Amino acid sequence: MKGSGEDTQPFLQKLQGIVLDNLKNEQFGVEELASVYGLSRSQLHKKLKKIDGKSISQFIREVRLKRSLELLDSDDTLTASEVAYEVGFSSPTYFNTCFKDYFGYPPGEARMRTKFQNEEGLDQLDGRVTKHKVGQKAIIYLIGSSILIGILYGAYWLNVKNKAVNNNFRKETTENTLEEIKKSIAVLPLKNWSGNSNLEYVSDGLTDALILKIAKVGSLSKVVPFTTMLTYKETGKKIEEIAKEQNVSHILQGSFQLSGSQAKISLQLIEGQSNEQVWSNEYSSNWDSSEIFDLQERVSKNVLNALNVVITKEESDILSQVPTDSYEAYNYFLLAEYQRYQYKNDAFENAIPLYKKAIGLDSLFVEPYGALAEVYIFQGLIMGLEGEKQSWKKAKELLEKAKLLDPSNELVREKLLNVYFFFEWNFDELYQLSESEKDLMYDFRIKIGEFEQALKRIDQLILDNPVGVYYGKKAEILFLMGRKDECKNLLEKHDALFDDGFYVRESAKWHYYLGNYKKSKEQLEQLVGITENYSPIVTWLQAIHANLEEDLGLAKEKILTLRSKFDNLESGSPAWFIALYHFHSNEPDRGFTWLQKSFERHEVEMIWLRAEPLLAPYRSDFRYVELYKKMQFPVPIASN
């Protein structure tokens, strides 16, 4: 409940004044506000929460947003991006998202809305708005708008019909037509025609860089990520099939050649549905730091122009940005990325020193920091190759350096938010984030029971990038929502489509929870065949199936393997999975003993405490309640 009383207003006014005094400082946050006010962070949080019902970060964000609206209304010369920087947002994209979340419309509409409201409210009598005039104007406005929309709609479809009859139906190039939002693209990995297989890393790196640049343009409705397109590197599929699978309007394909110091790129843009070439070009450049990034810029802008995509001045500047002045650093980065995308133990080990060399040659080069952090997280969180604490410590240091170098980098922020969740269990602070920020953390939403929001986010991710890991997550959400038939149907539909380790692991797990043990065993055997390293979750599934088949000797052997991993301080949450085995075997006393060990070891899988299906029957047990309190989830214990 919000506080009341005359003494609360000066407190809020003082807080607001402090924020406004530091408005342009994007680094001014919770700690800084508490320090200037003269209270500890926790004291200020409690006082503000009691009086205004808001967290400190929410209060700061709202002061910034209110000031941004004032600036938009009062100064016609400022763009939305300039206003964003004026009020302390380092990322215009993030500012737009927060502004729309708070006011219900984007900053680009602010002046129009204010103008309309002023026109409607200026007729006043004795300080009161004459409502009948407002009503009349609103009706006239709505009628006029309806007529205009009708005329435009009729003209639009007449134009479409005429063009279709003439077999000359082409997409309009104006920014706001319905066709514009349908423009989307997938870039096939460039074929290495250099005659040297050791240059695969260059062709892949150029493809990745091209995709990242194109994806920065907002007029495109979809750009398929490089990791997805890698699956088509040796494909025999036709362009029409790929376009249909990825739900895109165009496919870009081409080749790369490097002879001595001379590089050549040939490209063709294909319309997916008709398989017709709509544009092609060849580019030549010296393969050195002075020209390679210029080549990438020219290629990306030409591809976007071929798609009739509108590029803003801000986006054009972004496309012109150079990630590093060191060609040698960039080359090491490409080599490292080529290794990382193989997702194998030895490839990860090969990638680490290459990223470090890139950073050593150019400490301002942001991309290697984030990529190397991902390697450490993957090794510690998923593969169990390094201790969780060590991997998180290394990753956190790298990501925080990357954030300092590029505060507006949303990918870095997303990674930081997720690892704060996985490794630091900072639930309460994460719970106070805006809805748009929490959307970056669908796994956090799942673990605190916000299933509808998580499902909405996953469906959007699937629409943008239909890969196995997202379908596996969707199956998880459907099961936890109690929609088990939909979960089963989804798995049965996609089991034959995806054979990557992420999907197969999730499929084996959720088939088990559905009671479809035969299919779970089949997926487990497939997983064992493609997994180099048996992480604790794989060993747990093996123990479960041995138990189901009453092979208790094998089950014991697998549990001893997990115990050994726990004793050797290995990552992958072995204590958690030992606990789950005992709950599966109806041995809750042993299960709770190992849950306690998992908590004390700060194992990552403890974030599953609220959502884990095997623990559902024990949520009223005092031992479960105590652990739940210690985890400090920001929501009550789930009732089912």
Assign domain 327-424 to its CATH superfamily: Tetratricopeptide repeat domain (1.25.40.10)
Pick the CATH number of 180-319 from 1.10.760.10, 3.30.300.30, 3.30.465.10, 3.40.50.10610: 3.40.50.10610
User: Does residue 501 register a pLDDT over 70?
Assistant: yes
- How much is the average pLDDT of 361-386? 82
Q: What separation, in Å, do the N-terminal and C-terminal C-alpha atoms of the chain show?
A: 28
- How much is the average pLDDT of 150-178? 33
User: Does residue 140 register a pLDDT over 60?
Assistant: no
Which one has a higher pLDDT value, 247 or 163?
Answer: 247
- How much is the average pLDDT of 538-558? 95
- How much is the average pLDDT of 565-580? 91
pLDDT of res. 73: 81
Contact 384, 572 (CB under 8 A): yes
* Dist. CA 458–CA 243, nearest whole Å: 21
* Dist. CA 338–CA 347, nearest whole Å: 9
Most confidently predicted of 66-75, 113-122, 296-305, 573-582:
573-582
Q: What are phi and psi of 122, to 5 degrees?
A: -75, -30
| CA-CA-CA-CA dihedral for 111, 26, 325, 282, to nearest 10 | -30
User: Does residue 81 register a pLDDT over 80?
Assistant: no
* Dist. CA 378–CA 128, nearest whole Å: 63
540, exposed or middle or buried, with CB in 10 Å at 0-12, 13-18, 19+?
buried
Residue range(s) occupied by CATH 1.10.10.60 in the chain: 8-118
* Dist. CA 13–CA 33, nearest whole Å: 13
Q: What is the mean pLDDT of the chain?
A: 79
Structural fold of domain 8-118: Arc Repressor Mutant, subunit A (1.10.10)
- How much is the average pLDDT of 484-488? 96
- Per-residue tokens: 632: 């400090």
pLDDT of res. 532: 57
- How much is the average pLDDT of 36-47? 78
Residue range(s) occupied by CATH 1.25.40.10 in the chain: 327-424, 439-631
pLDDT of res. 147: 27
pLDDT in tens, 394-428: 988 999 999 999 888 877 888 888 878 888 888 88
pLDDT of res. 274: 85
Type of residue found at 482? G
Lowest mean pLDDT among 364-368, 527-531, 578-582, 617-621: 527-531
User: Does residue 21 register a pLDDT over 90?
Assistant: no
pLDDT of res. 630: 93
For 419-449, give one letter per residue: b (16+ CB within 10 A) or e.
Answer: bbbbbebebebbebbeeebbbbbbebbbbbb
Strand-pairing partners, residue 280, are 268
Question: 108 falls in which pLDDT band (50, 70, 90)?
Answer: low
pLDDT of res. 384: 57
3-state secondary structure 120-178: HHCCEECCEECHHHHHHHHHHHHHHHHHHHHHHHHHHHHHHHHHHHCCCCCCCCCCCCC
pLDDT of res. 113: 57
pLDDT of res. 114: 57
Which among 562, 215, 136 has a CA at the least distance from the CA of 411? 215
- How much is the average pLDDT of 183-194? 86
User: Does residue 88 register a pLDDT over 70?
Assistant: yes
- How much is the average pLDDT of 126-149? 33
pLDDT in tens, 318-364: 778 788 888 788 888 888 888 887 777 778 888 899 999 999 999 99
pLDDT in tens, 512-522: 999 999 999 99
Which one has a higher pLDDT value, 136 or 541?
Answer: 541
* Dist. CA 429–CA 433, nearest whole Å: 7
Which one has a higher pLDDT value, 26 or 620?
Answer: 620
Which one has a higher pLDDT value, 474 or 50?
Answer: 474
pLDDT of res. 522: 93
Residue range(s) occupied by CATH 3.40.50.10610 in the chain: 180-319
pLDDT of res. 486: 96
Question: 509 falls in which pLDDT band (50, 70, 90)?
Answer: very high
pLDDT of res. 199: 77
User: Does residue 596 register a pLDDT over 50?
Assistant: yes
- How much is the average pLDDT of 105-129? 50
* Dist. CA 333–CA 189, nearest whole Å: 18
User: Does residue 534 register a pLDDT over 80?
Assistant: no
Tokens 């029409």 identify what position?
A: 240
- Per-residue tokens: 426: 């900072």
The CATH class for the domain spanning 439-631 reads mainly alpha
Strand-pairing partners, residue 271, are 250, 276
Contact 375, 351 (CB under 8 A): yes
pLDDT in tens, 289-314: 556 777 778 888 888 888 888 888 88
Contact 278, 306 (CB under 8 A): yes
